[in-house]
Structure 1
């Protein structure tokens, strides 16, 4: 893709963020609907701040825009519960954001020669980075809107087509033992995707499709949330403490049937659609119930590159392994994107969801969350 096309793509990513904030009422703009999520308006401000940080402060030493707002929009400096009350009025934030977004696009299209040779601009790296950063926050903003809908859904609905449990009969793809390439390449890849690795894998079989809603309901109806033997110690303790008994966005009608709630309202759960809204703990318990296991992320990527996985990009897919650094890992362009999360407690996810932008839907992209997080659009696929 040419530089001009990438700049146009950045403009599109900017506009998506603005549209979500423009459509929000004042409460949605400022409220926090989940402990792990910031207010909607904060994400727009943070993304514009991040553009200015890299394009102006880091690239040419001008912090006139970023310095006054760094405390609000640098995540470690302001706790999530404090962010909403510190936001400017919604119209003011929108006017400020759109003006700076337009200025940043103009700046990129008219770079002075001395800036064009900067290492951050080599092969349009920084433009790729900003597109992906905006895209990730766009998906997070949709998580916020989903959590808002769940927060406000206080009257049970009744599904038109009740979900029925089905026997788990996965169609498997057999992967032979061998040496498989995993990882991405710059300028598109994030630091945790490089350098590319050679993974030496033994033979395995992987389900062609993620676990579906009907298959997950079978786990629930077989006592999956009540059977301690299916859970590891940490997962069982978490599940019992929080009273978890279904995916995050599933709700039960008065007659016992299940339906789902999203930002678009309540809806019937489609039989073959991948289950979503589950934690790593739940994914592990389901895999044990199925006498299977979660894939290592190298297995997932190898099978994906061969072309044997179906429905990738429908849900993020939990992997068995903790998020870790590849051999030769170097933090870039800053430490905080990957380094703090290489703690053995975050687990890798692969694939992307229906709400994931194309800029980050690639076989090598690595998402990562703590094992108890279920507000994300995540499901699972099985390995045998």
Structure 2
């Protein structure tokens, strides 16, 4: 998605496409699916719908439309997330306590704000600063579209009925993919965003880095490779695990990736958005914490790449997003084999880099300055996007980040090693 929109009609079209995709993702759901919150990290689905709408109401309509009528005076309190500068907020862990507003009311809220945004974009000559906020809001909603899929799977995935999210997910043909090591020479490289396309503030600060010679795996770790780790006692060998990670394994009785279950006879099955299925050993591994990714890398006598190594290797070997890349646009809703190197799509790839600021990082003033910078502590960087990411939302400089114990997101592993 470009940051410099040539015309406001293009900006309006982008807005409509993004908003309609959110509702497309919601189409298979029942009303009951929208209201539950099994754990704090999962928000009720109706909250995502309200929050992304609140963003446009708060940062576009209220500051710029003098006659705008707020949909409900309490909705900002309910649907603000972490923007302290924008006002008080309902606590995150209690979002699932609220049966009201109803799902129907939240969709009415979206319709109300959509109508106001469309009228505003059609009737006014926007300053560049306002255009940038609208584009940011569209990218913000795309982030929540992916979170929506994480949360849908978390809500449905522990249900003993194993309900399908979508019935129309098709099987794909097996592809013969050969794994190899990609060499990157020692040298000075530049990373970070430059140019005119959209980017988040945490990508800014184009800067030089020095890298020793290293190798990156040409593909993602597969389910079959991880099954071998399990069979070899990987979850029981404390020598493979960081101290904090070993505590996490034992306290939570972790024995397999999220959503995996071993049935009678020893076969592994997993809940997918297409229902409960036997684990395909050739498909990319998904739903892995940083702790598990790091332990697996040690077991393989390898390591996880740094985010700098990941970005440089991606720019050398896979600078462009290919047609067959598995994003949400392909409607597979799961990791699949592709003929690409999979630097983009399929699963987010853990790196060994903590989420910190680049040189020259300077967040914007006001509430939007809280978007990224305040989270630069105790989190690890992931790169590349997933099958839940929109094709026009990703780039090699994109920095995702999560706490190391989390694994309900679409996360996987690419190995690296020193030479």
Shorter-chain TM-score above 0.5: yes
Which of 151, 175, 189 is matched with 2:158 structurally?
151
Name whichever of 67-76 and 141-150 sits farther off.
67-76
Which residue number in structure 1 is paired with residue 80 of structure 2?
74
Which of 272, 277, 290 is matched with 1:262 structurally?
272
Q: Report the alpha carbon displacement of residue 272 of structure 1 after superposing the two structures with TM.
A: 2.5
Q: CA separation in 2, counterparts of 1:74 and 1:45?
A: 9
Aligned-pair RMSD on alpha carbons? 2.1
- CA deviations 1:197-227 (Å, max 9, x no partner) are 2222111100011111111111111111000
- CA deviations 1:221-246 (Å, max 9, x no partner) are 11110000000100000111001111
Alignment pair present for 1:172 and 2:181: yes
Which of 85, 106, 126 is matched with 2:119 structurally?
106
Contact 1:297/1:350 (<8 A) preserved: yes
Q: CA separation in 1, counterparts of 2:209 and 2:271?
A: 40
Give the 3 Å change call, closer, same or farther, for CA 154–229 of structure 1 in structure 2: farther
Which of 359, 364, 373 is matched with 1:332 structurally?
364
Contact 1:172/1:205 (<8 A) preserved: yes
**TM-score normalised over the length of structure 2:** 0.82
The residue matched to 2:14 in structure 1 has which SS?
Answer: helix
Which of 89, 104, 128 is matched with 2:102 structurally?
89
The residue matched to 2:256 in structure 1 has which SS?
Answer: coil
Q: Report the alpha carbon displacement of residue 62 of structure 1 after superposing the two structures with TM.
A: 7.4
- CA deviations 1:97-156 (Å, max 9, x no partner) are 123123213322332x4xx235x23xx42232122111110111111111122220368x
The residue matched to 1:34 in structure 2 has which SS?
Answer: coil
Q: CA separation in 1, counterparts of 2:300 and 2:355?
A: 24
Q: CA separation in 2, counterparts of 1:42 and 1:177?
A: 47
Counting only pairs closer than 5 Å after superposition, residues 7-18 of structure 1 correspond to structure 2 as 7-18=12-23
The residue matched to 2:236 in structure 1 has which SS?
Answer: coil
Which residue number in structure 2 is paired with residue 378 of structure 1?
411
Q: How many residues align?
A: 364
Contact 2:53/2:109 (<8 A) preserved: no
Which of 181, 190, 200 is matched with 1:181 structurally?
190
Give the 3 Å change call, closer, same or farther, for CA 191–67 of structure 1 in structure 2: farther
Which of 2, 20, 32 is matched with 2:6 structurally?
2
Alignment pair present for 1:126 and 2:133: yes
Q: CA separation in 2, counterparts of 1:183 and 1:153?
A: 45
Which residue number in structure 2 is paired with residue 342 of structure 1?
376
Q: CA separation in 2, counterparts of 1:67 and 1:298?
A: 45
- CA deviations 1:41-93 (Å, max 9, x no partner) are 00000000001111123445778528532211112422234223434111121
Which residue number in structure 2 is paired with residue 29 of structure 1?
34
Query: Where does structure 1 lack aligned partners over 5 or more consecutive residues?
Result: 156-168
Give the 3 Å change call, closer, same or farther, for CA 225–378 of structure 1 in structure 2: same
Which residue number in structure 2 is paired with residue 321 of structure 1?
353
Q: CA separation in 1, counterparts of 2:392 and 2:242?
A: 36
Q: Report the alpha carbon displacement of residue 261 of structure 1 after superposing the two structures with TM.
A: 0.6
Q: CA separation in 2, counterparts of 1:274 and 1:62?
A: 51
Name whichever of 19-28 and 312-321 sits farther off.
19-28
Q: CA separation in 1, counterparts of 2:376 and 2:253?
A: 29
Q: CA separation in 1, counterparts of 2:251 and 2:115?
A: 48
Counting only pairs closer than 5 Å after superposition, residues 296-311 of structure 1 correspond to structure 2 as 296-308=306-318, 310-311=341-342
- CA deviations 1:276-295 (Å, max 9, x no partner) are 00100000000110111100
Name whichever of 276-285 and 5-14 sits farther off.
5-14
Q: CA separation in 2, counterparts of 1:105 and 1:325?
A: 36
The residue matched to 2:261 in structure 1 has which SS?
Answer: strand
Q: CA separation in 2, counterparts of 1:107 and 1:310?
A: 43
Contact 2:65/2:120 (<8 A) preserved: no
Q: CA separation in 2, counterparts of 1:190 and 1:196?
A: 13
Q: Report the alpha carbon displacement of residue 260 of structure 1 after superposing the two structures with TM.
A: 1.5
Contact 1:21/1:44 (<8 A) preserved: no
Query: Where does structure 2 lack aligned partners over 5 or more consecutive residues?
Result: 83-88, 163-177, 319-339
Q: CA separation in 1, counterparts of 2:102 and 2:44?
A: 13
